[in-house]
Amino acid sequence: MTKNINIVWFKRDLRITDHRPLLEASVLDGPVLPLYVVELDYWQQSFSSRRHWHFIYDCLVDLNVALTELGQPLVIKVGNVCNIIKSLHSEFNIAGIYVHEETGNLWTYQRDVNVKRLCTRDNIPLHEYPLNGVVRRLQTRNTWSTIRDQRMREKILPKPELLHPVDDLTSDKLPDKDSSIFGADLNGQVQHGGRNAAVTELKGFLNTRSSRYLYHISAPGLSSTHCSRLSAHLAWGSLSTREVVQSVKKRQQQLAPEERKRFGRNLTAFSSRLAWRCHFIQKIEDQPEIEIHCMHPLFEGLREGYHDEAKYQAWATGHTGYPFIDACMRNLIYDGWITFRMRAMLVSFASYQLWLDWRVTGDHLARLFTDYEPGIHYSQLQMQSGVTGINAMRAYNPIKQSLEHDPKGLYIRKWVPELENLPDEFIHEPWKCSNDLIDNTHYLLNTNYPQPIVDHASAVKEAKQRIAEVRGDTQFQILSKTVYNKHGSRKLRAKKSKKSRTTDQIELF
Ligand SMILES: Cc1cc2nc3c(=O)[nH]c(=O)nc-3n(C[C@H](O)[C@H](O)[C@H](O)COP(=O)(O)OP(=O)(O)OC[C@H]3O[C@@H](n4cnc5c(N)ncnc54)[C@H](O)[C@@H]3O)c2cc1C
């Protein structure tokens, strides 16, 4: 007789605590098959990268150890998930598939549609559970934050007591980090993934590093120590958002009086960002097409026809001639992480000064970010490119940013060694130094390091004019309202209208 099994399908939830699908499956009578599928087609997509796989690999190693202790190691399958389910269903009788709702990109969305169809056709019960604060089939944004906050208060689910093992089961080998499946070679290093690293990072941040969180949040270099660095752990699920939210709360409650001044405000600011996280992911849940279409339809077609490959390559490799831009990009290429402001500046520079389309630059950044999270990623790309219609237009001045955040040019010198010997006064604008200085300092303006590829001030002026033309369309405000109703943050609006009841301007994160 064919054996009944239940499958727990792991995706972006690589942990065993606060994992409802796993817990639900574990209390059933039958054996449980914990499954991770290395989906070959996914790894061919333009947003995926070997850097992601390195991080996931670490997560899977820890997950396997944890599941083995429960009685059934992780089963790896390499291939197409529908074919794998079909094959397992012919070998066993799949009594149920237990899985979190994934709010990913259009590729994972379509894959989930295919899996659902297959399950309906073959009478395989598919049990899906909400993940984080994202609400499926949300009726209105007005109620979203209440639902989200309620979810964050719910009890953290314990790990299962045990899993009944499945006999006669074969697992594929976990592909190595350097397997050819995962595309181009890695050019740099990767933050360590996995549950153990996640817990260490969380504790270190809450107990120590967060004391300077707000102070250093935008400081290149220092931000990597004083930000939480939890984004990749949250993106691939070695921690649940609820676990982090509740850990912060606990820490806040336990702060000794002398610690309150150092940590209080920082932890509150960090908590807000965890709420933003869910807020942004909700946007792509409600409208998956924002991966490829501008939120505000009148911005469609704005930049698509203007692609300049030379400018794109200069930006993508950190050779624009703007030292701070290039330092940020080279830092990102090497480490797979930079702080929020620097991400925003890189996109803004590409979108305004270079007039490159956010979909093209977004793919490059998705591959570089270890924490690639579609909901945050595509919404932020659109915001920083001025195409949401509900956010203020913000074009960063790379020289001003450089002066503010790297006044002595230490960060620039680290990441753009061509400029190592340049005096401080020219480090932000090397094109201003005279020819004899170039000789004396071995700064070879025209050989080692490029001249600026655009004049940033005139390029921004032109970009703003083009955007203003779209904003001047008679339909613009009407369509903006529709975007706001779907995606706008009600919390910020409420705060703003308390401060000033005279303005009706929509300003959102
Ligand atoms: C163009 C662009 C693309 C981005 N793409 C991603 C992405 O793919 N994945 C990603 O996790 N973050 C993305 N961000 C948001 C932000 O830059 C990162 O979340 C943050 O830098 C991660 O570092 P951290 O965990 O130390 O952040 P912390 O400052 O410690 O914040 C804690 C957590 O809050 C969330 N968070 C922080 N800032 C934001 C924000 N502005 N919007 C939404 N959630 C936020 C993240 O989950 C983060 O891990 C992007 C920002 C921009 C401007």
CATH 1.10.579.10 spans which residues of the chain? 297-474
Q: Which residues contact 482 (CB under 8 A, 6 or more apart)?
A: none
Tokens for 88? 């397992």
- Closest atom, ligand 1, to C-alpha of 217: 29
- Closest atom, ligand 1, to C-alpha of 277: 44
Which of 216, 273, 329, 351 has most ligand 1 atoms within 8 Å of its beta carbon, as the pocket-test mutant? 273
For residue 277 and ligand 1, the question of a CB distance below 6 A is answered with yes
Distance 349 CA to ligand 1 centre (A): 19
Which of 224, 226, 231, 342 has most ligand 1 atoms within 8 Å of its beta carbon, as the pocket-test mutant? 231
For residue 361 and ligand 1, the question of a CB distance below 6 A is answered with no
Q: How far is 330 from 411, CA to CA, in rounded Å? A: 11
- Closest atom, ligand 1, to C-alpha of 280: 43
The predicted pLDDT at position 370 comes to 98
Q: What homologous superfamily is domain 297-474 in, according to CATH? A: DNA Cyclobutane Dipyrimidine Photolyase, subunit A, domain 3 (1.10.579.10)
- Closest atom, ligand 1, to C-alpha of 372: 8
Cα-Cα-Cα-Cα dihedral sign, residues 63, 369, 416, 224: negative
Which of 266, 376, 381 has most ligand 1 atoms within 8 Å of its beta carbon, as the pocket-test mutant? 376
For residue 228 and ligand 1, the question of a CB distance below 6 A is answered with yes
For residue 234 and ligand 1, the question of a CB distance below 6 A is answered with yes
- Closest atom, ligand 1, to C-alpha of 274: 34
One pLDDT digit (tens) per residue for the chain, 509 residues: 678 999 999 999 999 999 999 999 999 999 999 999 999 999 999 999 999 999 999 999 999 999 999 999 999 999 999 999 999 999 999 999 999 999 999 999 999 999 999 999 999 999 999 998 999 999 999 999 999 999 999 999 999 999 999 998 999 999 999 999 999 999 999 999 999 999 999 999 999 999 999 999 999 989 999 999 999 999 999 999 999 999 999 999 999 999 999 999 999 999 999 999 999 999 999 999 999 999 999 999 999 999 999 999 999 999 999 999 999 999 999 999 999 999 999 999 999 999 999 999 999 999 999 999 999 999 999 999 999 999 988 999 999 999 999 999 999 999 999 888 888 999 999 988 876 666 655 555 555 788 899 999 999 999 999 999 999 999 999 999 999 999 998 775 555 555 444 333 333 33
For residue 225 and ligand 1, the question of a CB distance below 6 A is answered with no
For residue 148 and ligand 1, the question of a CB distance below 6 A is answered with no
Element containing residue 495 per DSSP (H, E):
helix 490-499
CATH 3.40.50.620 spans which residues of the chain? 4-129
Element containing residue 103 per DSSP (H, E):
none
The owner of tokens 């203007």 is 306
Cα-Cα-Cα-Cα dihedral sign, residues 39, 42, 43, 44: positive
Q: How far is 63 from 57, CA to CA, in rounded Å? A: 10
Which of 340, 348, 361 has most ligand 1 atoms within 8 Å of its beta carbon, as the pocket-test mutant? 340
For residue 283 and ligand 1, the question of a CB distance below 6 A is answered with no
The predicted pLDDT at position 420 comes to 86
Q: How far is 202 from 233, CA to CA, in rounded Å? A: 10
For residue 276 and ligand 1, the question of a CB distance below 6 A is answered with yes
Give 504's strand partners.
Answer: none
416: left (phi over 0), alpha (psi -120 to 50) or beta: beta
CATH 1.25.40.80 spans which residues of the chain? 193-286
CATH 1.25.40.80 fits 193-286, yes or no: yes
For residue 241 and ligand 1, the question of a CB distance below 6 A is answered with no
Is 475 exposed, middle or buried, given 0-12, 13-18 or 19+ CB atoms closer than 10 A? exposed
Q: b/e for 234-261, b at 16 or more Cβ within 10 A?
A: bbbbbbbbbbbbbbbeebbeeeeeeeee
For 26-159, where are the E strands, in sequence order? 32-38, 75-78, 93-100, 126-129
> 3-state class of 239 per DSSP?
coil
Is 376 exposed, middle or buried, given 0-12, 13-18 or 19+ CB atoms closer than 10 A? buried
> 3-state class of 7 per DSSP?
strand
Distance 280 CA to ligand 1 centre (A): 10
Q: Which residues contact 410 (CB under 8 A, 6 or more apart)?
A: 221
CA 410 to chain centre: 27
Q: Which residues contact 85 (CB under 8 A, 6 or more apart)?
A: 7, 94, 97, 115, 118, 119, 124
Is the CB of residue 358 less than 8 Å from the CB of residue 302? no
Distance 338 CA to ligand 1 centre (A): 9
Distance 284 CA to ligand 1 centre (A): 15
Distance 173 CA to ligand 1 centre (A): 33
Specify the CATH architecture of the domain 4-129.
3-Layer(aba) Sandwich (3.40)
| pTM score | 0.95
| H helical segments located in 287-416 | 309-317, 323-335, 340-348, 358-368, 374-384, 398-405, 410-415
